Every structure is written in C-alpha cells, then in structure tokens.
Amino acid sequence: MHRSPFKLTFVLISTLLSAASLMAAETAPKPISVTDIPPSNAAELNTEYSVEIAFKRAAQKADAALKKTRKEGGEWHEAADLLMQSSVASRAGDFQAAIKIANQAEFAAEESYDAVIAARKAEAERKAAAARKAAAAKKAAEEKAAAEKAAAEKRAASPTTPAK
C-alpha cells in the first residue's frame, strides 16, 4: 500500500503539535520552601540559607566600602583581592570563611579610606598654617613699614638743631 506524502506530513505535523501542547501544559516545578521540608532537615537548610544571606550582606558592605575608597583615590587593591577570595570561598560553600574574609575586605577598604581622608585633612591644615604664617609675616612687614614711615615723618617734622 502506497501512502501519500501529504498524509505523512500531516501526521508528522500533528504529532509535533500534540507534543508541543503537552510540553506547554506541563507546569514548572514548585520551589521548595522551608514549610515543605520535614522539621529535622528544615533547621539545617534554614541555617545554610541565613548564612548565605549573611555572606551576601557582608559582601555588599565590603563592596560599598571598596567603591567609596576607590572613588576617593585610596589603596583599594588589597580589599579587592580579599573580596575576590571571599567570593571564591562562597562558591565553594564555605560561607563562614567567606563572611570572615568579606569583613576583612571591608575593614581594609575602610582603613584605606580613613587614611586618605586623614592625609587630605593634614594637607589642608598644613596649607592653612602656611597661609596664616604668610599673612602674619605680611602684616608684620606692613607694620614695620608703617613704623619706619612714621619715624621718617617725625624726623622730617622736627626742627633741626644746630651742630655744636
């Protein structure tokens, strides 16, 4: 018996459409929540989840400190290296170590930021002291010039005494 190519094509297309409709009808798997897990395992998973959240917060704080330090022109390379090590530790699943390293990165970035701000403040104070010193020297020179002028005017105004 000879089948027509039209009928074969129709069967193939209808099979593909039915398979596609079946795949579309399937729902995505429901994410597992803590309430779906038996109590013996829920606490363990909840702890891992909270440690991961704590790491993310620590990493965000370190990243913010790093950006602030970089913006002010401080030494940020050490903090960036520590943050990278923290990320590697988190990918390995060692969130406690990752949190510790992220906190070290934040501390290094803040320390560098504080050093930059202190150096700028010291430079500003040095410049202000130099400006005050220059202003005082200028005032002293003006007062000396005024005193010499007054003395010269006083000599010019006083009658000359005949020589003996």
Annotated domain spans of the chain: 43-117
pLDDT given for residue 107 in this prediction: 94
Quick: pLDDT tens for 81-92.
999 999 999 988
Contact between 147 and 102 under an 8 Å Cβ cutoff? The reply is no
The one-letter amino acid code at 116 reads V
Quick: pLDDT tens for 60-85.
999 999 999 999 988 888 999 999 99
pLDDT band at 122 (very low <50, low <70, confident <90, very high): very high
Longest dimension (CA), the chain: 160
pLDDT given for residue 76 in this prediction: 85
Q: Which two tokens stand for residue 146?
A: 């005024």
pLDDT band at 45 (very low <50, low <70, confident <90, very high): low
The per-residue pLDDT of the chain, averaged, comes to 81
Give the mean model confidence (pLDDT) for residues 24-49. 57
Contact between 37 and 45 under an 8 Å Cβ cutoff? The reply is yes
Residue from 48, 40, 156, 62 nearest 107 by CA:
62
